[in-house]
Amino acid sequence: MSAQQTQDIAIVGAGVIGLTTAWILCDFGLGPRIKVIAKHTPEDRSVDYTSPWAGANFCSISSGDEKALRWDRITYNRLAYLANTRKESGVVFADLRELWDYDPNLEKIRSWSSYVKDFKTIPKEELPENCLYGHTGTTFLINVPQYLNFIHSILNDSGVTFVKEEIKHINDVLQFVPNPTVVFNCPGVWASTLGGVEDPDVYPTRGHVVCVDAPHIKETRIRNGTNSDTYIIPRPFNGGVVLGGFMQKGNWDREIHPEDTQDILKRTAALMPELFQHQGPEAAKIIYEAVGFRPSRNGGARVELDTLPGTKFPLIHDYGASGTGYQAGYGMAFDSVMLSLPLIKFA
């Protein structure tokens, strides 16, 4: 049987969601049967490819709904396994300090306090001015390029095939996998425009990050503000420190604006004075800056079984992770693979 015929599992998308989906399928020995069709792969840098621009950390940015909390928890355990046993993945344990200028979602705090290691509420008297709530705990920091390359190399070693192509319609996957047992749809924010999907609930939440050289910073700190989040995310293994940010819903502006850069530097210096050795934002040594579009979705991420339009082939949607593709992505991919297993012949 030719290689083309054995490939019966198609995945659209090679961001952290598509790659993680393939990774879990490889754990079932399905690598040689998988073909990933993607315009961008981990070596690419583009404003249209969100995954490389993430911090990434594990914080309580996710929503408070039961699915999001479940995906966070599953992924927390997976990241702990990687931090403990696979240092080359670029995942490490890290101290998190998170502050809110408004009352946080209590469901999320309750869920977090039940599993996040060393979880502690910050006593009110220790909170900075105008801050209503804060907590600390042990979560994770991820060197994002290293993590994406780590997964990519596992997939290559497991026999997964990659095709660098942009498809106009979801049914175009049939050009690459003519008789799929299952198709996974992981296009990120482009689920909004991909033919046959065109999800009206998907929209970009525009972010802007400034990566600086500050190797003395080891803690990740976030302040959830009423009109913007401010965060400091050191990437382990000399990955620089990712500073943010903005959460601009529905904003497709691809440009970097210098006034926004200054705003991020000012806010992060105030949040963590030691960031620039107490010399203020003018002392910042910028490595790079980037704009990214978080794939957000009204109603939360979509992990759902469907069928390719006008065919009998099963389609599993897995997109809409918004600001949580790293901290919830394994949980989302796990659920999407669980939906596929009854469809896949192993004998």
Ligand X SMILES: Cc1cc2nc3c(=O)[nH]c(=O)nc-3n(C[C@H](O)[C@H](O)[C@H](O)COP(=O)(O)OP(=O)(O)OC[C@H]3O[C@@H](n4cnc5c(N)ncnc54)[C@H](O)[C@@H]3O)c2cc1C
Ligand Y SMILES: O=C(O)C(=O)CO
Interacting residues with ligand X between 147 and 176 (CB under 6 A): 166-167
In whole angstroms, how close is the CB of 57 to ligand Y at the nearest point? 5
Binds 140, which of ligand Y, ligand X, none (CB < 5 to 8 A, cut-off by type)? none
Distances (CA, A) of 96 to 43, 110, 117, 246, 270: 29, 17, 10, 19, 17
**The two structure tokens encoding residue 227:** 């009109």
207 binds ligand X (CB under 6 A): yes
- The residues near 65 (Cβ < 8 Å, ≥ 6 apart) are 300
As annotated, the binding site includes 50-51, 231, 294, 323
> Interface with ligand X by CB under 6 A: which range of 22-30, 63-71, 150-158, 181-189?
181-189
Binds 313, which of ligand Y, ligand X, none (CB < 5 to 8 A, cut-off by type)? none
User: If you search the block for the tokens 């994002």, which residue do you land on?
Assistant: 144
Q: Measured in Å, how far apart are the chain's first and last C-alpha atoms?
A: 16
Name the 3-class secondary structure at 138. Answer: strand
d(CA 300, CA 63): 8
Among 334, 289, 20, which Cα is nearest to 154's?
A: 20
Asked if residues 237 and 283 have their Cβ atoms less than 8 Å apart, the reply is no
Strand residues in 101-191 grouped as ranges (E): 117-121, 133-142, 161-164, 182-185
In whole angstroms, how close is the CB of 207 to ligand Y at the nearest point? 5
Size of the site for ligand X (CB under 6 A): 42
Binds 11, which of ligand X, ligand Y, none (CB < 5 to 8 A, cut-off by type)? none
d(CA 292, CA 54): 8
9 binds ligand X (CB under 6 A): no
As annotated, the binding site for D-dopa includes 231, 294, 323
Cβ closest to ligand Y, residue 140 vs residue 162: 140
In whole angstroms, how close is the CB of 9 to ligand Y at the nearest point? 29
13 binds ligand X (CB under 6 A): yes
Cβ closest to ligand Y, residue 162 vs residue 231: 231
Binds 269, which of ligand Y, ligand X, none (CB < 5 to 8 A, cut-off by type)? none
188 binds ligand X (CB under 6 A): yes
